[in-house]
Chain A
Amino acid sequence: MKEDRSIAPVLELRALKKSFGDNHVLKGFDLQLHEGEILVVMGKSGSGKSVMIKCLVGLMQADAGVIRIKGYNITELGQTELDILRTEIGFLFQGSALYDSMTVRENLEFPLRHHKEKLRITETNEQLVLEALENVGLAEAIDLMPAELSGGMKRRVALARALILKPRIILYDEPTTGLDPITSKEIIHLMRNIQKKYKTSALIITHDVDCARVIADRIILLVDGVNYIEGTYQELIRSDDPKVQAFFKT
């Protein structure tokens, strides 16, 4: 089950396929995310980016292909092992997905309930929650309900919740979608700071070219269910390929 983890990427997809009836969304998608890297997967709406990231964390079952996280093939793991592996991954959802019946504090404490001891985290819940909220600049919102927060604040709280178990990999599903340009820039800045502070690896799926330009170490363009092209932002904007140009020069 385990590969040589000293050289293996922290996250790897090989020949990932997923269809919904006759709609073949992913037709053999490959991806490798390395330690400390920020990888951006771009593609048009409906190109299968969200499907790919949901397959990656086991929220959706892929039809074929290999998904490895820190060397573990997630399709071979039992539910308990998968739950433990998931504590090493932070996930920021597109719509923030805050639990709306809980306060900000309870939202952040929720992932700690069963995993704090297993992960040997010694700080108290209060310390962890405050640290996570201070990272996103929202310590004063600790006792508010999600309904009392703006869109940008919700996204920040969701990011704080994703960080609470101190994950090594963070997955961002359209982190700037639905936000105004200023708040988008703040979120991108926050993501960059977090990556620097905790030395995490990050996989970002987005169609926001500005986000990719500012933050990406490497970009993969997902077109027609496969990796169409891969490279740095500078390499991609210099590409003569019409599909790449259409994406980056709009």
Chain B
Amino acid sequence: MKTAALTQPILIVTALVTLALFALFSGLDPVLLAVSIIIAAQPLLLAALGEMVVEKSGVLNLGVEGMMIIGAICGFAAAVETGSPALGFLAGATGGAALALIFGLLTQYLLSNQVATGLALTLFGLGLAALIGQSYAGIKPPPFPKLDLPGLSDIPVIGPLFFSHDAMVYIALALVIGVWLFLGRSRPGLILRAVGENHDAAHSLGYNVILIRLAAIAFGGALAGLGGAYLSLVRVPQWNEGMTAGAGWIALAIVVFGAWRPWRVMLGAYLFGGVTILQLNLQAANLTPLWLLAFGFFLFAIWRTLTSRRPLELLGLWLATVLTAAIAAKYPISIQSQYLSMTPYLVTIIVLVVMSADRLAANLNAPASLGRVFHKTG
């Protein structure tokens, strides 16, 4: 079973390496590409990490998109008004948490349905953000400085890859480590997981289920808000209505993809960030549908090589890979950019389908009380 556990990481790494190689051949700089992937991954990472904690406490908050965009506009507005990006991030986190607490109040005290409330929260957040943001369109926010360590940041390749990001990249990494330690090692983390696992049992042991869940919801909202603020202050950086463009939904998918484990959530965020950036760059390069088909065959062939023992099937797959690649090289038919823009969302769907197909692996770590209403009786 060892190969089975390694299959997914190997596939992901191969996919990324192949795409990077392709980019290199198309005349793109892999280091710049990696840096932009890291930046693209931060909003997803922050939002997904927060949502993971919320879901670990047994609450399904589908309002990530709404909390992100509220974070984006609150952060943007605060940064523009005060001139301080740091205060902007603080405001983004506060805004996200405030919106999340509305969700918490509705679902935990008024016992409303979590799915419906979460969806409503997204709609509410999008509308409210558009309202607040009316006068902020087209303004440039104050720049968020990048880390500049003399010596370290100047090393070629390694310097730009590891030592010259903005502070939020390191804060996000610290948060991943923090959440990992909190959930796995600390007593409050244990209690949080217990609440998500079986809220009735946690209640009968005397834990305050509602309070613990509210705290988790607020934390998740704050992180989603941070992610949104990162979008509007660093990634874009500008305020546009509806600028999260589904990032919150991708963050929800990343939580499932990451099987509620912090490090896998981080991997997922980088994977999805990678897809977003690569598709932008591949729009510029001459990628044809046949290349994509060849790429698909290639990944499939690798997957079967890792899991299957039938030589004939493997031979067929590899032949198909080589053949399509050869044809693709001979007949360059271009692909419309709209199709490439779809890829992050397509990948989201594919990942969710594949993960749900592998039911055991996904279910074993899923919080058992996820999405269930806790009604305090007796």
Partners in one complex: no
Which residues does B use to contact A, with CB under 8 Å? none
